[in-house]
Amino acid sequence: MFQNVDGIQKVSKVNIDATMKSFEVTTKTVQAITTEMTDYTKRSFENNTKALEKLFGAKSLDKAIEVQSEYVKASYEDYLAQTAKLGKLCAELVKETFKPYEGLIVNPLMK
């Protein structure tokens, strides 16, 4: 009976250790995602402000259309780049979060 209790304690310790490692990785990656989103939001706000200033300073309709077109193109390219970064970070989050659980499928009680 005591062997089973020891085995259960071992399994519990292994699971708790894996969970703690998983939480550590998750926290770091979520912080990286938050930093990326904060930087993107700040950059986007600054670009919006600059484009609006240029738009108000436009002397003709052609110039206003040119400013708007440049802004839309730059915003779209920045959005696509940001989406790619976030996609990589989210994929890394999933991969690294479950990494500590690799190899835990084998029942330690059977060893």
What lies within 8 Å, CB to CB, of 13 at 6+ separation is: none
The maximal CA–CA distance of the chain, rounded, in angstroms, is 88
**Distance from C-alpha of 58 to C-alpha of 34, rounded to nearest angstrom:** 36
**Distance (Å) of CA 44 to CA 21, 50, 71, 82, 100:** 35, 10, 11, 11, 37
Q: Give the predicted TM-score (pTM) of the model.
A: 0.71
Residue 7: predicted pLDDT: 73
Average pLDDT of span 78-107: 86
Average pLDDT of span 25-47: 94
**Distance from C-alpha of 57 to C-alpha of 53, rounded to nearest angstrom:** 6
| CB count in 10 Å sphere of residue 100 | 19
**Distance from C-alpha of 19 to C-alpha of 26, rounded to nearest angstrom:** 10
pLDDT in tens, 68-79: 999 999 999 999
**Distance from C-alpha of 74 to C-alpha of 47, rounded to nearest angstrom:** 9
